[in-house]
Amino acid sequence: MIHKFYLNSFYIITDINSGSVFSVDPCAYQIVDYIKTPMTEACPSDIIGALKDNYTVEEIKETYDELYSLYCNDSLFSEDSYELLAGRLGPGPIKSMCLNVAHDCNMSCGYCFASQGNFGQDRSLMSVETGIAAIDFLMKHSGKRRNLEVDFFGGEPLMNIEVVKKIVSYARSIEDANNKCFRFTITTNGLLLNDEIAGFINDEMSNVVLSIDGRKEVNDALRTRVDGRGSHDSILPKFQNLVSKRDDKEYYARGTYTKYNLDFSEDVLHLFHHGFDQISIEPAITDGTMDYSLTPSDLPRIFEEYEKLAKIIIDIKKRGEQINFFHFMLDLEQGPCVFKRLRGCSCGNEYVAVTPDGDVYPCHQFVGNDDWIMGNVIQGKLNSEIKEKFSKATVFDKECCNDCWAKFYCSGGCNANNYTYNGSILSPHHFSCEIEKKRLECAIMMKVALAE
């Protein structure tokens, strides 16, 4: 399977099964439409016939020969040999855990998937005992995996920062003896950040996600405090302060776009101009019924905006400045192996979320729906049936993914969105698919542009 697209004056062909990417001229771009496999060594006469009005016969033959040589070394029209692997994928050890340390929040963002922090449950904070039980549970189910990730999430995790510190110190105290290496991350809305907490985060967290939507008016329209006031002016300097002391450690200034800011490249630039060079702005996925909801009719505008943003980022990079937009980051060479690509996030299998009560869910987005409780860290229980089900949710098992050119880049999308909006973890959420594919095309195009 190949996928070809024309973007920013580049003609691009990707070969799905081999992972190859080519920048081609218009002649090659057209010829591939006529190629049937297995390819023959000599250029078929129907190809010459179809294109001879546009190119010389010599040109067509020469281009065909180049394509044929790529075909011969399995770089083009490469056969799918992966389906067998999918059958070999089963439940694996748990290596990542989202700890919902606070089912409570000091903000009241309009688009919050966690229903203003409490996930539709009682407002509550995780106790140290539950946190420690969660770390023990993770260790116990992690098998031989050495690298273990723990993400402090909420609600707003800084509302329970003392417990976060105790959990971190407990995990650190047992990692060496057990030959494990914990990587902590945290996501925060920033309101409670101060120098002391920022210092702790910079010391202990390998990544920190700083939630801010961009321009003041955009941020303050939906990222509101409980009393309705905006948050931009309070959080921006706190985030700048944290990032300025973070050295080379990872962080993301992470925002959300909605129908209110379809010009979200401006928000990326706002963050960039305020000193952030690691930026992520992502669509709010909803059921489409809110004023701010993105709907399929917004897609052309969204695509246009991604293209604009891609060009802006190319310009910035060509000037020698540093900027990373999360969804345009693509590692073509050293990216993950195909096993990883078949299953994506691995929620419910290698990744789970834990609530303040110690209940285990497949991931943070399933929290609050009792049907998906798959265990409890205090009781030490884990439902292997649910785990098995998620371990088998590969791109080969999902409707439409197998025929989708993006399958090894996207890995089947978000199971939680699939379930919430299409009723099954195996039914991709088409709106998200369209956005994902556009971002991938932009990301691949940027590789081509920056290789110029």
Q: Which of residues 190-209 bind another protein (CB under 8 A)?
A: 207, 209
Min. distance of Cβ 140 from ligand SF4 in angstroms?
A: 21
DSSP 157: G
Strand 124-125 and strand 2-7: pairing? Answer: unpaired
Q: Which does 39 bind (CB under 5 to 8 A by kind): another protein, ligand SF4, none?
A: none
Q: Interaction with another protein in 319-378: which residues (CB under 8 A)? A: 326-327, 329-341, 344-347, 350-351, 363-365
Closest CA to 414 of 396, 398, 392: 398
Tell me the DSSP string of 34-72: G--SSPPSSPPHHHHHHHTTTS-HHHHHHHHHHHHHHHH
Tokens of 394: 């590969």
Compose the 65-104 pattern: x for residues touching another protein by CB under 8 A, - for all others.
-xx-xx--xxx--x--xx--x------xx-xx--------
Q: Which residues contact 223 (CB under 8 A, 6 or more apart)?
A: 107, 109, 189, 211, 212, 213, 230, 231, 232
Q: Choose between 126 and 342: whose C-beta lies nearer to another protein.
A: 342
What are the structure tokens assigned to 23, written together?
Answer: 């920048």
Of residues 73 and 379, the one with the C-beta less far from another protein: 73
Per rule CB under 8 A, is residue 177 in the interface with another protein? no
The residue range among 81-89, 123-131, 137-145, 395-403 that interacts with ligand SF4, by the rule CB under 6 A, is 395-403
Amino acid identity at 298: D
Q: Which residues pair with 185 in a beta bridge?
A: 151, 207
| Min separation Cβ 97 and ligand SF4, Å | 11
Which has the closest alpha carbon to 312: 253, 368, 271? 271
- The stretch near another protein (CB under 8 A) out of 125-133, 240-248, 282-290, 312-320 is 282-290
Residue of the chain from 428, 439, 443, 448 that contacts ligand SF4 (CB under 6 A): 428
Report the interhelical angle of 299-318 vs 265-273 (nearest 10°). Answer: 30
Query: Which stretch, 32-40, 164-172, 219-227, 336-344, contacts ligand SF4 (CB under 6 A)?
Result: 336-344
Q: Which chain residues interact with ligand SF4 by CB under 6 A?
A: 336-337, 339-340, 345, 347, 351, 363, 365, 395, 398, 400-401, 404, 406-407, 410, 412-416, 428, 433, 436-437
